[in-house]
Structure 1
């Protein structure tokens, strides 16, 4: 036997490595070499090669290793112990798939289309149909593709290591769409790991953990007009009103076991609802595959896989295309800040701290028990930047809202003294994360024209939404978390005490134009014991509804784009529960319908009134007219460009009506009462101004004209100047 092995070029070490699952150079041993064919296949009674010249039996040279003389093309014929025979192609007769440019970019960590090289790709290679697998695991001793097709046996299909790139690849003929697979990794310490594909396009239904081969090519997009025009729709001078949605709990099929709607059902029902409500955008809580429902998607494992909970990848595209056809943009919550420690995920992927920092002072999030990406590693930056481009390009996503940016910017985020490592200058800023965010924004805006990126950032870090070449982070917009916290603190107080906290409603205007702000009432405000938006409001049931309507009027009249979480638009009475659907029966009750009608009308007024959006980020678009802490009243002016009708917003945050309430306005003439949150239509008392007021010349509040209005209790009234001169004579 020893002489035979030497004659055939095999050594005892080769045989032991193959049978023991330790072979790191399988393509040097297996397949055809110099007229010899070597095949490793466990549990066979016999194996032969079928060639144009006939069938050649292969000798069993040791255990499950077969070998014989074979020239030219061949297929393999196997026979089991039960006498069953089948033909198959030998993966080790196929050449390398990845080309020189891929290898160059992979090697230097600059492959912006990483998903086109790594992952599982259904393809035809050397005239044979199959799937190409490639994965980055630089410190592994051996990587194999495993699945039901090979009995999850890592000895069967060890992959080829490609030079010094750290990438392993193999083409497996005969595999295609729907194949389950994982990577079995032999780490440097001899341990075996079973990992999902970091660049996999599909996953099993949780709690199962395998990746799934998905062919994401060939979708026939029909949204070219939308894509060409969305830059105007998403500009900072455009009206942007966002409906934030958790797909799994918006609606459910109660008569079908309470299952969530599919992507295709959401394409019909959610899109139609958002359009009817007047929103301009949908923002989806993360759809990248995640194992734990209770994370709402904010602890993703499959960054390149739309979650299978609602359907396969093409059906997610159906949802996006339906939104575009209806004139809605689609934003995704994107989570590059951390990842979970689940054993099948990125954690110690090849047995080392590959994607994360090794030192927990840099690499472990104490708040969430998750791991922090090592942004200083160029391959990790490449992985994340390419992921952003993937969603924008492959799924025509219109923008990314980047989660937990504050936690990325600071090394001492939520850490006590001694629990963090300063940057190279001794400071607390995470310089590598900052560079990553800049690079991501530059790449996204350069390569996907018309998109928008949004930072969920809760600190005073400067120039978050300024261009990178102007010293900024490069985001298009930033969530105004300070405004949200301050105003909700004010609104939660009994009106009798609000006069002592007047500045909570006005302070936001001190910095409102320092960034391109979005005013967010997000899912975070209606979970974890915080109560629903309705129940945050003080007073009895009538007052709670009135307060909520007034708050929404204040929000829509205030500078900044708008974001509202699902259920808040009609005042859901309960806190949000991701395990069920929204309380739609409550939405059918009159007072809830009134809130819903108000939000619908606010959106329509906002979108149709340039003064309410064109200068959201420009200080000359806003001016205080009067604020009175003792009365808890606020009056301000909104301006657009020359020729745009000005808008006056008047707020009364007490239950006391204000009659003949005199306010200054920029011009005499008729002012239409465009919104009155106390209207009977919305569930209010019906007190108001009979559709409008005529302003007269005369100085008031620093303005050249004035009008006397009725300001109902716990209300906001929005007036629009009638520029046509056709206002009703009073």
Structure 2
């Protein structure tokens, strides 16, 4: 028969944009039925009734490359069918036709996609095992609005893009197809032909839930079997763990280098559940934060250049294995925070770059769409579908993996159009300013949606500038984050402690400056991975002086962090005084724990966590005024700080000596008389110190000091901190 809809040469050249109009079983104008299929290497093809298995038509070979077609005699109504193919093996093979199955996308999906509010988009796009009309297979769907043609390819069709051409779904820009017979574990990619006829490099699925193990770049159909979570108690109560007035001490971890196997290989998610979780719990941390786990092609990016935004990296196991790790954290009383990266993505050919032959996810103008420092691309935050993609991804981790918080990386690079750009290399906003108004809108919307759907989680911004109200509600003009990393505190504190002890008196303002702005945000005090790489050395080796002084300075740093208002974060290895700068290609130096000074640092961190978690004055007003008071912050000559932490319970008084000399008879004022117990001394021999201290307790004297009627006469250990609580 003559079929004006079918351009044979265009089809064989991979230019068929509407396969359902020319393939499968169709009704003819006269009411009859006509069937066509593409079966490369076949000798014969028969059309069968799916219900009875009866052969109802022999299809003729219309082209030797595998086009078979024919009229179905006698039958006048569409019926479920399949093909029997001869030539694909010794015996005939019965094959389902993808084009006989209805779409898995509905009208409501199209509506929500159009307005950018399909926050469960991951339930529709990507690869989803399904059963349709009693036939098992996989629903594929991908957004590529400017493509001429889209196919799904893999070993199942010998990577032939003519075999499984996706169908365009309405005006959504989505292409979809149910492919019968595929199973979890099957590899796939999308073959996309651009509008100008270019055949693009094969693309990984932007919504892939699992990725091929690197260096492979294919997507993998994931098993939809539900995971049997055991964290019901945690999930019911986790709202108590992420509150502003709750203790939050975060252990930051890079999964590939926390601890390696004996052969140098990676530990898997399940092995980490066995070893990492009890270790973090034993040290008293409240949360663990993982550097990005989303699949990333370049391991040395530490996960900060992700492409598989919906897939835990396969380097450490399967998605189910990662759920085990999260589950075990929760069962151990540990919250899980993920680093999340909406700031940029790599330009790898199999990724999002020019996904459908156009700048679909990124800006076309490199002055807006490319990070020159990192060689990565920038999402087009002003595009409705891109915002929807990113917000749906954030919700996905909270939904499917029970994650308790997202730390959003590189927020400053999103907020400023001139971020790390010289004059003339950036495009001002519509008002002529440097603020990225589209990114601001995206971040506000992100936080509004996250907190509306998951009010018991937290979002944390890594924002390194003075952008105002990062952790304030959007209703009052803020960005809506729950917390902000206090990068200024980290920079100033490490700068001060890195100075020669004799010179600190001339830089006293560095160590006190953070309290001038402490009430402007809800802060996390980070000692993060960024401070122990790229030649900065480990925290221990950033400290000046002799080996003993280095350890004493490190203990003093940790004490100051825990006494300062703000939630706490410590990168792995710091808790025992890692010697070497962090190297993602090797394990931490666990053998150091055979040595007493390193054991002492670890004991101190454990005790600081215990004190922090047990005494509400150290956390309940972290994000509210009135929780901190300087006793004396002006003793530059002695490089001493004296402070109080206050709340609803008994206050704590502390003094910190940043010189290498002990100070005897050092007087600090306190508001009430009595006996004060020394509850922490970083110079205790138990921590590796010299046992300079106050014999466990000290009595007040009626000598006014620092505006208080009573005072304590203290011995301040060299490079040490002492903490006191009044005894009732």
Q: TM-score range by the shorter chain?
A: over 0.9
Q: In 2, distance between residues paired with 1:59 and 1:473?
A: 64
After TM superposition, the structure 1 = structure 2 runs for residues 169-568 of structure 1, keeping only pairs within 5 Å, are 169-193=176-200, 194-254=202-262, 257-568=263-574
Q: Distance in 1 between matches of 2:699 and 2:566?
A: 29
Kindly report the root-mean-square deviation, in angstroms, between the aligned alpha carbons of the 2 structures.
Answer: 1.2
Deviations 1:181-230 (A, max 9, x none): 00000011211121000011000011110000103451122322211211
Equivalent position SS for 2:495: helix
1:15 and 2:29 are equivalent in the alignment: no
- Equivalent of 1:91 in 86, 94, 98: 98
Which residue of 2 is the match for residue 613 of structure 1?
A: 619
Give unmatched runs, 5+ long, in structure 2.
28-32
- Partner SS, residue 704 of structure 2: strand
Whether 1:695 and 2:696 are equivalent positions in the alignment is no
Aligned length: 712
Render the CA deviation track for 1:473-505: whole Å, top value 9, x for unaligned.
Answer: 000000000010011111111100000000000
Tell me if structure 1 keeps the 8 A contact 2:116–2:385.
yes
Q: Whole-Å Cα distance in 2 between the matches of residues 77 and 690 of structure 1?
A: 90
The secondary structure found in structure 1 opposite 2:555 is helix
2:570 matches 1:577 = no
Give, in whole Å, the separation in 2 of the partners of 1:68 and 1:406: 62
Match of 2:540, SS? helix
Distance in 2 of aligned mates of 1:305 and 1:81: 35
How far did 1:616 drift?
1.2
Aligned-partner SS, 2:609? helix
- What SS class does the counterpart of residue 357 from structure 1 fall into? coil
Deviates most, 117-126 or 274-283: 117-126
Aligned to 2:718: 713
Q: Secondary structure at the match of 2:68?
A: strand
| Maintained 8 Å contact 2:104/2:124 | no
Which residue does 2:30 correspond to in 1?
Answer: none
Hey, which bits of structure 1, 4+ residues long, moved more than 3 A? 81-84
Q: Which deviates the most, 494-503 or 218-227?
A: 218-227
CA drift at 1:462: 0.4
State the secondary structure of the residue aligned to 2:42: coil
Give the secondary structure class of the aligned counterpart of 1:321. helix
Q: Distance in 2 between matches of 1:561 and 1:533?
A: 19
Q: Is the Cα contact below 8 Å between 1:667 and 1:697 reproduced in 2?
A: no
Distance in 1 of aligned mates of 2:703 and 2:170: 82
Query: Is the contact between residue 18 and residue 40 of structure 1 (CA under 8 Å) also seen in structure 2?
Result: no
In structure 1, the residue matched to 2:70 is 68
Distance 1:38 1:179, change over 3 A: same
1:559-605 C-alpha deviation (Å, 9 max, x unpaired): 11100000011110000000111010013311101000000000000
Structure 1 CA distance for aligned equivalents of residues 351 and 80 of structure 2: 39
Aligned residue in 2 for 1:41? 39
- The superposition leaves residues 24-62 of structure 1 with CA deviations (integer Å, 9 ceiling, x where unpaired) of 000111011011111012121222222236223211112
Cα distance in structure 1, aligned partners of 2:251 and 2:122: 30
Separation of aligned partners in 1, 2:671 and 2:10: 85
Distance 1:249 1:588 in 2: 20
More moved, 138-147 vs 607-616: 607-616
CA contact (8 A) 1:557 1:718 kept: no
| Aligned equivalent of 1:127 | 134
Alignment partner, residue 139 of structure 1: 146
User: TM-score with structure 2 length normalisation?
Assistant: 0.96
Q: Is the 8 A contact 1:14 1:29 kept in 2?
A: no
